[in-house]
Amino acid sequence: MLNKRRWLAAGAALAVVGGGVAVAQTATAGPAPHTCPRLDVSKDWYGENRAKLQKMIDERGSCSGSDGARPVATFDWDNTVVKNDVSDATLAWVLRNDKVLRPASWKATNKWMTDDAHRALTKACGTSVPVGHPLPTSKNTACTDEILDVYQDAKTSGGKAAFEGEWNHRRTVPEYVWITQLFAGHSPAELTRFAKQARAENLKAPIGTEQTVGTHKMAGYIRYYEQQKDLIHTLKKAGFDVYIVSASAEPIVRAWAPGVGIHRDHVIGIRNVVSAGKLTTGVQGCGDVKDTNGEVLTYMDGKRCWINKEIYGVKGARAWQQQDPEHRAAFAAGDAETDVTFVSDATAGRLAINRNKPEFMCRAYDNSDGRWLINPMFIEPKQQQTKLYPCATEGYVQPDGTLAPVHRPDGSVIPDQKDTVY
């Protein structure tokens, strides 16, 4: 069970250091001694980012002289700690190796699935395979393509909507739920084993490799970012309690996390309900939301809820709220909208890996409290976004899915931002 008694040193005062990351110091904390853990990897850190991260580590970690409890650091996984997506890699491996078990009804796998998607999947994948047995997706290209169209585009191969209805767009995405529901019928350990085999393939493949799954082209390689591996290692040596908080299925991330020294009990991902030792299409809830069909994921505001619940032991509806500084992470890192809430919650340092995601980059570039750092992707970085991020008009995703201006904590609107770190 995860330790629920994590808090930052009481009485710590926040200060902006070096024009970037904010750090906390106690009255007794002096300059960090030279024996403090140091970041080793310097390649591809943008500007003064590495130096500012080191300063935060020195002043918030074990070298600070503080006698408070261990500070927490929280990292997203896909495209934050690694290049590319471990869920996509695992799904590709599962489809190429006939590991999707035929459901009794495709529509029953996901509460938002449309009748059109149900009919398209039933037609493409057939009904000759007994329920609960593996579909021959390695050979049945039509079935594989239909699954990938529904997952990647939220549409059928014929262009019809695959999901409909209402959901809180800051807590879940139907297709994110559905990829975990495709693994139903397997045990968590089996899914971890599939992910490990996908991991071996993707780490071996050269950078830039693509794979063909059905007729779809998908990324065929993954790499750990050496910079993030070094950062996590240094944070741990400096006394930080480091967690992964991912919108991928937790058994998948558990196959990858040891590569950066993170134990399985410090991985928080999408947790499907387990029955009789097997994953089901149900998803564990958070806060005041009970186990559901996926209304709450480790996604956007859901990541905050799960951090509050699992790391700090906050129960009920309070878990959706931003906690006091003593019950928030000191440092957080992410790359996309799914990370914006928990990264914004960090009290000392926030690292944004630039993938041109509007709300996330609006907050990072605005940097209203001086605690954000922005870094290009360490492998195959995005080119500069030529248009301004529309922060003042439609950068914020509302719960109903409509777009609105992005507001600072004080209520003021963030002006449109130029993409300058790429």
**Residue 197: is its pLDDT beyond 60?**
yes
Round to whole Å and give the CA distance between 226 and 177: 30
Q: How much is the pLDDT for 117?
A: 98
Tokens 């807590």 belong to: 171
Helix (H) or strand (E) segment spanning residue 25? strand 22-25
201: which 2 tokens? 């393939």
Which secondary structure element, helix H or strand E, spans residue 97, and what is its range? Answer: none
Distance of CA 217 to the CA centre of its chain: 23
Mean pLDDT value across residues 141-156: 98
Closest by CA to 296, choosing from 318, 324, 262, 269, is: 269
Alpha-carbon gap, residue 315 to 159, rounded angstroms: 42
CB 291 within 8 A of CB 285: yes
Beta-carbon contacts of 340 under 8 Å, excluding residues fewer than 6 positions away, are: 300, 334, 359, 360, 363
| Backbone dihedral region for residue 364 (phi beyond 0: left; psi -120 to 50: alpha; all else: beta) | alpha
Supply the pLDDT for residue 122: 98
End-to-end C-alpha distance for the chain, whole angstroms: 40
pTM, two decimal places: 0.92
Identify which of 420, 413, 296 has the alpha carbon closest to the alpha carbon of residue 359.
413
Whole-number pLDDT of residue 328: 98
Residue 14 confidence (pLDDT) above 80: no
CA 174, 281, 305, 236 torsion-angle sign:
negative
29 has a pLDDT exceeding 70: no
Which pLDDT belongs to residue 68?
74
Interval 70-81 mean pLDDT: 98
Do residues 383 and 58 make contact, with C-beta atoms less than 8 angstroms apart?
Answer: no
Domain ranges of the chain: 86-219
d(CA 409, CA 405): 13
Rounded Cα distance, 330 and 408, in Å: 19
- When pLDDT is cut at 50, 70 and 90, the band that residue 36 belongs to is confident
| Cα angle, residue 267 at apex, residues 356 and 333 outer, rounded to 5° | 30
pLDDT (0 to 100) of residue 66: 73
Q: Which amino acid is at 129?
A: V
How wide is the angle at C-alpha 411 spanned by C-alphas 374 and 172, nearest 5°?
Answer: 65
pLDDT at 18: 40
Cα separation of 140 and 199, whole Å?
Answer: 24
CA distances from 258 to 40, 198, 254 (A): 20, 15, 7
